[in-house]
Structure 1
Amino acid sequence: MTRILVLSDIHGNLDALEAVLRDAGKVDAVWCLGDVVGYGPQPRECLQRIANLPGLICVQGNHDAAVTGKLDLYAFNREAILSIQWTRAQLSERDVEWLASLPEKVEWEEITLAHGSPRNPIWEYLLDLNTVQVNFSYFNTRFCLVGHTHIPVLYTYFDRNGNGKEEGYVDWMIPPSNHIIQLVPRSIVNPGSVGQPRDRDVRAAYAIYLPESQQWELRRVEYDIRTVQQKILAAGLPSRHASRLEEGW
């Protein structure tokens, strides 16, 4: 059975990425939902590690786009701007070209992949049910996978009368870790963040997707947070990027 590793928001955290790759074991493909860089101390190493993974599909996140110059920095807070500028200085022109080449959205059979949302793949956050429901009109596949919020969640659309999206409603759940969930069309799913979780769980988050059975397993794995914090501070990056790792926000 095909096993696909789904991950997002690595944010230059190589230690967390390596922990995820070890924990996931053998996979047939890797889907990355954007933001390989930003915040963390090893952007180039993360980029090179991701680029060489098997069966890779990777979409562009807002931090990836900002590093390439595609997004204006005014949309980011001061600490994020400092991180983006520092990250750009660490990358080669070839690295930046690779990030710039990433698509904003990808359709793979019955799956849509985007960083933020299907409506606004680079920037929009799916954090409330009204916004989520509107976004079900912006993709036609059974499922859509997104990142950006750094919070694992599953949204499922239910059509009350079979008369179209306007008659339906959206339900949601936070998937339990290490439990296989049967996905129901149509759903929007977020695997959480590898490199900077924001759901008060400090462990790196990712998922395994089984396309034949349409099953989803959210996983969490521990990594050496203190070592990453030391790397962040040694690089001269904002201290908040280090402290938030031990608090999961």
Structure 2
Amino acid sequence: MRILVFSDIHSNLTALEAVLAAAGNVDAYWCLGDLVGYGPDPNECIALVRDLPNLVCVRGNHDAATLGEVDQNTFNHEASLAITWTKRNLNAESQEFLLSLPERLLIDDITLVHGSPRNPVWDYIMDAMTAERMFQFFDTRICLVGHTHVPAIWKETESESPKGLVLDYQKVKILTKSILNPGSVGQPRDHDPRAAFAIFDPQESLWELRRVPYKIAEVQARIKKSGLPWRHALRLSEGW
């Protein structure tokens, strides 16, 4: 069984299309939230994700803020500007889809959240110490998270992060209780500008981290045209 696990699209349609093409034929799609925010294509991204077969999806903090469920003043100024822009441009169908998303899903022995098992929307798992504290908050064998925009593998017996060390097509056998992060589709922050995702085979317990290049300049042009903060365009080139 092949499942595309992806997160943090952030209204970047070009990156999303590249990921879907690179993943090829899969049996299911698991999205870990933050479909919107930062980028210029919220409705297009939601429409594409919404129509994927065998889709499950959870809500991220930018999704929640766009719905008015989170105080956007807790975001930095430029992120808040993008949330305001997204609120103005989101159509009714997109809003309805975001409203339908749960904060947490359990599928067999796998937990899906955006942030962490302790706080599904907001927590960041950035280091081994934080990851170690999070294992007590889920009872499944695996917890899938996003939010940090950095691919990571945290094992209960030996927490580790491959930040900056993740190779294309790296397959990892998940043998112990683990927290897995596929990285970000639309705004990577590990100094690799390529879109990040993972292919997961739960039956074989295989986790395959993947990267794919996309036409960043096209997205930057749409960001400029939309009037969104230019910093959101600049960071795409550097992957930060």
Q: Which runs of no fewer than 5 residues in structure 2 stay unpaired?
A: none
Answering whether residue 184 of structure 2 is matched by residue 185 of structure 1, we say no
The Cα shift of 1:179 comes to 1.8
Letter in 2 for 1:16: A
Deviation larger for 7-16 or 175-184: 175-184
Q: Which has the larger radius of gyration?
A: 1
Pairing partner for 1:237 from 225, 228, 233: 228
Q: Which runs of no fewer than 5 residues in structure 1 stay unpaired?
A: 159-168
TM-score (normalizing by structure 1): 0.93
Partners of 2:7 and 2:35 within 8 A in 1: yes
Letter in 2 for 1:196: Q
Letter in 2 for 1:40: G
Q: Deviations along 1:208-245, whole A, 9 cap, x unmatched? A: 00111010100000000011000000000000000000
Q: Deviations along 1:22-65, whole A, 9 cap, x unmatched? A: 01001110000000000011000000000010110100000000
Distance (Å, rounded) in 1 between the aligned partners of 2:86 and 2:102 = 20
Secondary structure of 1:80's partner? helix
The Cα shift of 1:170 comes to 3.0
Partners of 1:194 and 1:205 within 8 A in 2: yes
Partners of 2:12 and 2:219 within 8 A in 1: yes
Letter in 1 for 2:123: E
Partners of 1:200 and 1:248 within 8 A in 2: yes
The aligned residue for residue 137 of structure 1 is 136
The aligned residue for residue 86 of structure 1 is 85
The Cα shift of 1:206 comes to 0.3
Answering whether residue 25 of structure 2 is matched by residue 34 of structure 1, we say no
The Cα shift of 1:97 comes to 2.1
Q: Deviations along 1:66-122, whole A, 9 cap, x unmatched? A: 000110111101101110011111112232121022000101001100000000000
Distance (Å, rounded) in 1 between the aligned partners of 2:22 and 2:69 = 34
TM-score (normalizing by structure 2): 0.97
Distance (Å, rounded) in 2 between the aligned partners of 1:81 and 1:40 = 12
Q: CA RMSD in A?
A: 1.0
Q: Deviations along 1:162-215, whole A, 9 cap, x unmatched? A: xxxxxxx63443442212110122000000000000000000000000111010
The aligned residue for residue 222 of structure 1 is 213
Pairing partner for 2:197 from 178, 203, 206: 206
Distance (Å, rounded) in 1 between the aligned partners of 2:76 and 2:161 = 29
Answering whether residue 172 of structure 2 is matched by residue 173 of structure 1, we say no
Distance (Å, rounded) in 2 between the aligned partners of 1:70 and 1:172 = 31
Partners of 1:39 and 1:83 within 8 A in 2: yes
Distance (Å, rounded) in 2 between the aligned partners of 1:94 and 1:18 = 20
Distance (Å, rounded) in 1 between the aligned partners of 2:108 and 2:29 = 15
Deviation larger for 64-73 or 121-130: 121-130
Answering whether residue 42 of structure 2 is matched by residue 43 of structure 1, we say yes
The Cα shift of 1:6 comes to 0.3
The aligned residue for residue 106 of structure 1 is 105
Partners of 1:38 and 1:80 within 8 A in 2: yes
For these two proteins, the number of residue pairs brought into alignment is 238
Distance (Å, rounded) in 2 between the aligned partners of 1:110 and 1:50 = 24
The aligned residue for residue 126 of structure 1 is 125
Answering whether residue 234 of structure 2 is matched by residue 246 of structure 1, we say no
Distance (Å, rounded) in 1 between the aligned partners of 2:88 and 2:110 = 35
Secondary structure of 1:207's partner? strand
Deviation larger for 186-195 or 88-97: 88-97
